Amino acid sequence: MIKRIGILTGGGDCPGLNAVLRAVAKTAMFKYGWEVFGFRDGYRGFVLNQYMKFGPDDASGILDKGGTILGTSNRDNPFNFKVEENGEAVYKDMSDVAIENARALGIDCMIIIGGDGTLSSARDFWRKGLKVVGVPKTIDNDLSGTDFTFGFMTAVDTATDAIDKLHSTAESHHRVMILEVMGRYAGWIALKAGIAGGADVILVPEIPYDINKVAEKIMERKQAGKHFSIVVVAEGAKSVKGEVVVSKVIKDSPDPVRLGGIGNKIADEIEKITGIETRVTVLGHLQRGGRPIPYDRILSTRFGVAAVELVNRSEFGKMISLKGDVITAVPLEEAVEKIKTVPPDGELVRIAKSIGVGFGD
């Protein structure tokens, strides 16, 4: 019999997180009469026992608010947690400490909101006997087991708006404009925003590009009287030689490699080959911030309510999932088994090529 649940948001922030928290808290408190405890700053708060108890006011006025009122962290893995011993930083498995914190608070189940890293730890907690339900969150839309993650469509909307704005300045100055977007090793944001924004070239990690073919596409447009081009590139895009561009490595992070800089690399190469002035815009964290669009507010609310209903039915060890337009659930084991990438021969790539978009292949 459930009386008290815990919740945390882990990994990078994402539009719609607060909408999920709101839906979970309101459904748990008002429909079932449960108490809700939120751990601060992701798994860090879970290990250090830093939390807040939700009251009715805490779940109000946050539907359209970006970020997460609980805070989050993408550096704290409870199974390899940074602690200080004898003045030195060491890494230890602190998962048992987190489980004991939950038990001491009388928490019957944890609802864990995050991407592949956060939900991989949720799976490991489930294996250790903690009752867990996962909610898929990432702007990258790279979680297998669900058609869409909340936050993704807001990121696409932000990127599309940027492309729309770049069109006018590109056309005015007869330049090539490159927009570098996030996505890690999946090209979903680049592909969807590129199609929606009318990009001429879209470069994604799943289709290695030949820079000479990218340049050919731009020159074809110039010869046809189009003296500007828009190139959208995912941060994880790679050339036919196989290399990706890394901006930095953060040693104490569960995911130490930070991608970035591919836009500038491609710009330099395009200028050398074509002689056309090329400029770069790196959209960066603008994609992760700000108010969620209505689609994500609704999806987040559906996910949050569904997570509480899953707890009420004692269906633990699962992640909420969207299949078509139906909310369902899949085992956490399946949800984090692999990342979901863009099919190179999928419908979206085919329709983009049909309307003349180049992929550098």
Q: Is residue 308 part of a domain?
A: yes
Q: Residue 356 falls within a domain, yes or no?
A: no
- Worst-scoring range by mean pLDDT, 14-23, 242-251, 282-291, 329-338? 242-251
Write the CATH number for 279. Answer: 3.40.50.460
Name which of 164, 199, 360, 179 is nearest 278 in CA terms. 179
pLDDT band at 254 (very low <50, low <70, confident <90, very high): low
Domain boundary among 235, 268, 289: 289
Query: Measured between alpha carbons, how far is residue 107 from residues 9, 79, 101, 176 in Å?
Result: 16, 20, 9, 55
What number is the average pLDDT over the span 109-118?
96
Question: Is 358 within a domain?
Answer: no
pLDDT in tens, 141-192: 999 999 999 999 999 999 999 999 999 999 999 999 999 999 999 999 999 9
Q: What is the pLDDT of residue 260?
A: 83
Instruction: Indicate whether 130 and 230 sit together in one domain.
Output: no
CB-based contacts of 42: which residues, under 8 Å, 6+ apart?
8, 9, 10, 11, 70, 71, 72, 73, 74, 76, 114, 118
Residues 126 and 185 in one domain: no
Active-site option among 140, 142, 157, 296 = 140
Cβ proximity of 283 and 181 under 8 Å:
yes
- Asked if the model's pLDDT at residue 247 lies above 80, the reply is no
Q: How confident is the model at residue 133 (pLDDT cuts 50, 70, 90)?
A: very high
Tens of pLDDT, residues 24-48: 999 999 999 999 999 999 999 999 9
CATH number of the CATH domain containing 98: 3.40.50.450
Of 29, 63, 152, 48, the closest CA to residue 97 belongs to 48
Amino acid at the residue 274: T
Same domain, yes or no: 202 and 163: yes
The answer on 217 and 192 residing in a single domain is yes
In a domain, 167, yes or no: yes
* Structural domain includes residue 349: no
Where residue 323 falls among pLDDT bands split at 50, 70, 90? very high
Q: What percent of the chain has pLDDT over 90?
A: 90
Q: Is residue 69 scored above 80 in pLDDT?
A: yes
Q: How much is the pLDDT for 103?
A: 96
Q: Is residue 21 within 8 Å of 70, Cβ to Cβ?
A: yes
- Whether residue 140 lies in the annotated active site: yes
142 with 234, same domain?
A: no
User: Which of 265, 293, 291, 288 shows the shortest CA–CA distance to 278?
Assistant: 265
145 and 31 share one domain: yes
How many angstroms separate the CA atoms of 56 and 46, rounded? 22
pLDDT single digits (tens) 193-230: 999 999 999 999 999 999 999 999 999 999 999 999 99
Q: Which of 289, 312, 343 is the last residue of a domain?
A: 289
User: Helix count (H) and strand count (E) of the chain?
Assistant: 11, 15
Q: What is the DSSP string of 101-112?
A: HHHHTT--EEEE
What is the percent of the chain where pLDDT is above 70?
99
Please give the tally of structural domains in the chain: 2
Residue 28 domain-assigned? yes
Domain residue limits at 211: 154-289
**Which residue from 38, 20, 4 is spatially nearest to 303, judged by alpha carbons?**
20
Instruction: Indicate if 104 and 119 belong to the same structural domain.
Output: yes
Same domain, 236 and 309: no
Q: Are 344 and 355 in contact (CB under 8 A)?
A: no
Give residue 259's pLDDT: 81
**Residue 347 domain flag:** no
DSSP secondary structure string for all residues of 99-151: HHHHHHTT--EEEEEESHHHHHHHHHHHHTT--EEEEEB-TT--BTT-S--BT
Distance CA 272, CA 19 (A): 47
Count of all residues that appear for the chain in the document: 361
Give SS3 for 357: coil
In this predicted structure, the answer to whether residue 258 has a pLDDT above a threshold of 90 is no
Q: Tell me, what's the pLDDT at 246?
A: 83
Residue 350 lies in a domain: no
Same domain, 141 and 213: no
Q: Is pLDDT above 80 for 248?
A: no
Q: Looking at the structure, do residues 144 and 158 belong to the same domain, yes or no?
A: no
CA-closest candidate to residue 301, choices 26, 5, 19: 19
pLDDT at 162: 97
pLDDT tops 80 at residue 137: yes
208, two tokens: 């290695």
CA 94 to chain centre: 26
- What is the arithmetic mean of pLDDT over 305-329? 97
Nearest-angstrom CA–CA distance, 357 and 61: 42
Work out the burial of residue 172: count CB atoms within 10 Å of its CB; fewer than 13 is exposed, 13-18 middle, 19 or more buried. exposed
Residues ≥6 apart with Cβ < 8 Å to 220:
none
Q: Which residues, at least 6 apart from 338, have a Cβ–Cβ distance to it below 8 Å?
A: 144
Same domain, 51 and 142: yes
